[in-house]
């Protein structure tokens, strides 16, 4: 059983705002409204308490790939990100052979059923060869509904999101199929026009996969998908806030037009996250990681990131100067709502899972709790 305790004295970020000298009561695995007599009090004065981070889009970490690693390796990757504050994670796969991806979906679904991950995100193979990024071109295919349905069925109810180039043959029908099955349809790795993107949104697409990246640039005569995704209130936009994928002005543009309630920070992390520079495989493609930046050996395209969400948070509030509350929304509340899990995670409210991150005054990570148990136990005076 997870212990009961009171974390007292921190600045606590709640949906209603930040409470100075606040407290969070942990009763077993949940956050409670009141503490029984005799509950130990831990003084965390001078710190910040924020909800555990939720990553919608993550391919691995700790040297492990969620697409190809063994179960033990996948668990190591999950733990790597938990050590950096990600208490809820959707495991993303990259483009592969359909039969392989179907088998992989079955394997990952077991981890979802055990509560280790929050589901599966298929990024590819239903993407544009014009905007494939670090995906194998010979394995790409059109998003025909029957093919999309094959992966959804293989995931046994644990498919959470599928990224599609919705302008390809079958794309709009596949969006409708995903919506019917309760799976998020995401527009990404796309060469769509503004009008084609608007059609996909009307059909039910609700996410922009790593907005700005792997899609046409914003143009004054051909605004493309970026304008359509930013302007529509039904769409949540993913952003990779690592200082490599986005210029700070692009991040500011996204927040100004989408607002703080429609942005989700993601890692798009690959194996090297939390592990180090070197050579890795991303699906069938070789990747060189140097100074923390991942690029394909052949062609030099950016190949995911080595980001962890504690770094994304730190950059958001120290470099980008976002209000802490906006960063918390992008890292916790917004992705939790999108996943339909906000009744359990995404904020520090009574009745929810005791998932939280303790940060020092300079926003450095000091502690991580998941379901009432310390993943990183803070070393306090």
Is 199 annotated as ligand-binding? no
Does 268 participate in catalysis according to the annotation? yes
Task: Please tell me whether 326 is known to bind a ligand.
Answer: no
17 is in an annotated binding site: no
Q: Are strands 356-359 and 48-51 parallel, antiparallel or unpaired?
A: antiparallel
**250 marked as part of a ligand binding site:** no
Give the ranges where 162-269 is alpha helix by DSSP (H).
Answer: 171-180, 194-203, 224-231, 248-258
- Report whether 304 belongs to an annotated binding site: yes
Q: Phi and psi for 12 in degrees, rounded to 5?
A: -105, 125
Residue 340 Rama label (left phi>0; alpha psi -120 to 50; beta): left
CB proximity list for 12: less than 8 A, separation 6 or greater: 18, 19, 22, 23, 24, 48, 49, 348
213 labelled as ligand-binding?
yes
DSSP state of 142: -
195 appears as a binding residue in the annotation? no
From CA 239, how far away is CA 216, in angstroms rounded? 16
> Is 351 annotated as belonging to a binding site?
no
| 78 assigned binding-site residue | no
Residue 121 annotated in ligand binding:
no
Q: In angstroms, what CA-CA distances link 103 with 65, 108, 124, 150? A: 15, 9, 15, 11
165 known member of a binding site = no
Marked catalytic residue, from 27, 191, 232, 268: 268
Question: Residues near 35 by Cβ (< 8 Å), separated by ≥ 6?
Answer: 4, 6, 25, 27
What span, in angstroms and rounded, lies between the C-alpha atoms of 141 and 90?
23
Catalytic residues: 268
**Binding site: residue ranges?**
123, 134, 189, 210, 213-214, 221, 245, 302-304
Binding-site entries for substrate: 134, 213-214, 221, 245, 302-304
For the annotated binding site for Zn(2+), the residues are: 123, 189, 210
């Amino acid at each position: 059983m997870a212990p009961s305790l009171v974390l007292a004295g921190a600045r606590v970020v709640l949906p209603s705002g930040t409470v100075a000298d606040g407290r969070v009561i942990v009763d077993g695995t949940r956050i409670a409204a009141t503490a029984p007599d005799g509950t130990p009090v831990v003084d965390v004065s001078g710190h910040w308490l924020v909800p555990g981070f939720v990553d919608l889009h993550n391919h691995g970490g700790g040297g492990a790939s969620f697409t190809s690693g063994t179960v033990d390796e996948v668990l190591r990757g999950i733990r790597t990100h938990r050590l950096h504050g990600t208490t809820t994670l959707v495991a993303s796969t990259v483009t592969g052979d359909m039969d392989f991806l179907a088998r992989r979906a079955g394997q990952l679904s077991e981890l979802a059923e055990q509560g280790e991950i929050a589901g599966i995100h298929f990024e590819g193979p239903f993407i544009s060869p014009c905007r494939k990024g670090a995906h194998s071109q010979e394995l790409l295919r059109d998003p025909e509904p029957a093919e999309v349905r094959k992966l959804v069925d293989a995931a046994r109810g644990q498919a959470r999101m599928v990224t599609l180039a919705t302008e390809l043959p079958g794309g709009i029908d596949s969006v409708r199929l995903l919506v019917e099955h309760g799976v998020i349809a995401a527009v990404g790795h796309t060469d769509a026009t503004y009008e084609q993107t608007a059609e996909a949104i009307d059909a039910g697409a609700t996410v922009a996969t790593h907005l700005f990246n792997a899609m046409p640039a914003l143009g004054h005569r051909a605004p493309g998908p970026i304008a359509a995704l930013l302007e529509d209130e039904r769409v949540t936009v993913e952003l990779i806030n690592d200082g490599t994928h986005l210029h700070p002005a692009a991040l500011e543009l996204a927040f100004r037009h989408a607002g703080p309630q429609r942005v989700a920070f993601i890692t798009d992390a690959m194996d090297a996250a939390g592990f180090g520079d070197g050579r890795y495989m991303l699906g069938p493609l070789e990747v060189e990681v140097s100074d923390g930046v991942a690029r394909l050996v052949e062609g030099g395209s950016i190949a995911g990131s080595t980001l962890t969400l504690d770094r994304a948070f730190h950059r958001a509030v120290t470099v980008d100067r976002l209000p802490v509350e906006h960063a918390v929304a992008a890292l916790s509340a917004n992705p939790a709502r999108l996943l339909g899990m906000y009744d359990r995670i995404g904020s520090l409210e009574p009745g929810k899972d005791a998932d939280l991150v303790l940060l020092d005054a300079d926003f450095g990570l000091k502690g991580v709790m998941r379901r009432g148990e310390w993943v990183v136990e803070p070393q306090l005076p």
